[in-house]
Structure 1
Amino acid sequence: MGGTFSPRPPRREGPKPAWSVPPAPGLTLRQRVERREREAGLRCCDISCGLGPSDEDPFTDKVSEAVSAMKQLTIRGKTEEGANACEHRFHSACLVSAERVALRGADTVAEDGQVNVSCPVCRTTGCVKKEEWDEGVVALEA
């Protein structure tokens, strides 16, 4: 029964490397689905988007057409005309809801046909047109 075993290699002397967190495995399934829904125009960047598809509701072409037909807004900077304050896009109702939460129910201030808002994702300040804001208010009340 005499097997031959090779001796263990000697241990390296010196300090052990510091433990570090292993790299993340990537996006979760939910994050991947929501990213694709945003790319398709079905969901806006608001974390609590109430207009995007739901897990409980069956997804049909009728739902897809209704949600993708909804206009999404970008927050424009206050200084340059036409320049976006950030790259995030929102349904008007989602932006109104997020801004009301951020202001704790206080009314927004409209000046020169513009409503001052801050991005719910990155908190960059900018403005949207009063007409676009009013569309969101009406959509929330419906």
Structure 2
Amino acid sequence: MIYLASSAMSEIVMFVAVLLIAAFVAGILTTSTYKISLNINKKGDALATKLSQDFEIINDPGDIVRNSSAGTIALYIKNTGKDPIIFTNDSFTVIIDGSIVEINTTNQLTSPGSNILSPGDVGEIVVNYNETGYHRIKVISECGISRIIRGYIS
């Protein structure tokens, strides 16, 4: 009889141990799933912000106009997103062939004098660059959206 009681007691102890381990694993999985869902929400919000502030470079790649006397080229961008974009010299970065170039001026062409590009508006970024030929031009907004055009500067 003592042998049977000892066997039953060890089975109960093992059963309780298995239940504790299962509860521990379930708790870890629940916590991990919750943290993953929070991160997905954060990434989704960041992506939504990026998509709502989208733009495109609308220059003709075959003929990017250069003002040789001023040593500048003009890049035209259009707000294709849902939200307005702040349009100042500090809100964009222009990189030509891997080198950052200085922005001379930004001009809002749809509503002159404004420093905001509303959805559908077109703006001009004038950069100090006086070389001709084929170049890779990258425009980056302050929220991290970038667009590239490969074109001929005449």
Q: Same fold (TM over 0.5)?
A: no
Q: Normalization by structure 2: what TM-score?
A: 0.24
Counting helix residues as a fraction of each chain, which structure ranks higher? 2
Structure label with greater radius of gyration: 2
Counting strand residues as a fraction of each chain, which structure ranks higher? 2
Q: Which has the higher contact order (CA 8 A, sep 6+)?
A: 2
